[in-house]
Amino acid sequence: MANQLSLSIDRSSPVPLYHQVVQGIEAAIHSGVLEPGSRLDNEIDLAAQLNLSRPTMRKAMDELVRSGLLVRKRGVGTQVVSSQVRRPLELSSLFDDLSNNGKKPTTDVLSFSHVEADAATLTALQLPAGSKVYHFTRLRKVGGKPLALMENWVRDDITSMDEAQLSSEGLYSILRRGGVNFRLASQRIGAMIANDYQAPLLEAEVGSALVTMERTAVDDTGRMVETGHHVYRADSYSFEMTLVQR
């Protein structure tokens, strides 16, 4: 079962060794060098082949198992699962997702204000009473076709923003440039019926199906940075994810 996956490790590179291994195996799987179902060499041999220690090799494989590309079984070995399973949902904005897929998203800023937060927003962002937030509504289109209607509230003590920025790039890239390091987000996905306000904007019929998402994002200092309520046309958007059993 010697599956020679000729990876090359660059010890002078600033990217961690285990991460180089992760990238190498990912590439091998996606390119078809490692076929679904094939067995890898055992951890010790693999580590020896790459002149790495076993813990480093294990850390790399841990990540691949977590992301669902590999499957391990004690006493048996490690197998490649199906390469066709999709990547797990990531912490990124819709704008980035679309851009990365070669699409050209555009944004219409329907409203923009810098106002005192209402009670619900204060709770969601855990802000003291009287705090001000940016509040805006955007319509995202791809190829001229409306895809998503997005309402967001962003705390104003991190970076300033204006309408022009929002219409030319994604919210998350603005915030990242403002020094925000996102760490996690909790979100809820559901469904609703397009109402009189949403339907014309999304160029859909009143009563057609929409996917809803509510999200609150937290940065590395534990601050709640942003909360939003988005709706997507159900005929052009859905959430894909991979769940991994621990």
Partner DNA sequence: AACATTCTAATGTCAGGACAAAGTATTGAC
Partner DNA sequence: GTCAATACTTTGTCCTGACATTAGAATGTT
25 contacts DNA (rule: CB under 7 A):
no
Q: How far is the CB of 26 from a second copy (least distance, A)?
A: 13
3-state class of 96 per DSSP?
helix
113 contacts DNA (rule: CB under 7 A):
no
Residue number, 31 or 245, with CB nearest to a second copy? 245
159 contacts DNA (rule: CB under 7 A):
no
Cα pseudo-dihedral 72, 75, 77, 78, rounded to 10: 10
Stretch binding DNA (CB under 7 A), from 13-21, 138-146, 148-156, 208-216 = 13-21
Cα separation of 222 and 238, whole Å?
A: 29
16 contacts DNA (rule: CB under 7 A):
yes
Residue 74: which of a second copy, DNA, none does it interact with, CB under 5 to 8 A by kind? DNA
Q: Count how many residues are written for the chain.
A: 246
Residue number, 63 or 151, with CB nearest to a second copy? 63
Rg (CA), the chain: 22
Window 37-56: contact mask with DNA (x via CB under 7 A)? ---x-xxx------xxxxxx
Cα dist. 86→45, 69, 82, 243 in Å? 29, 9, 10, 10
Residue number, 80 or 231, with CB nearest to DNA? 80
Residue number, 106 or 187, with CB nearest to a second copy? 187
Half-sphere exposure in the Cβ direction for 10 (13 Å, CA): 7
Number of residues that bind DNA (CB under 7 A): 25
Give yes or no for a contact between 225 and 219, defined as CB atoms under 8 angstroms apart: yes
Cα separation of 154 and 225, whole Å?
A: 6
**Contacts with DNA, residue ranges (CB under 7 A):** 1, 14, 16-19, 40, 42-44, 51-56, 58-59, 72-78
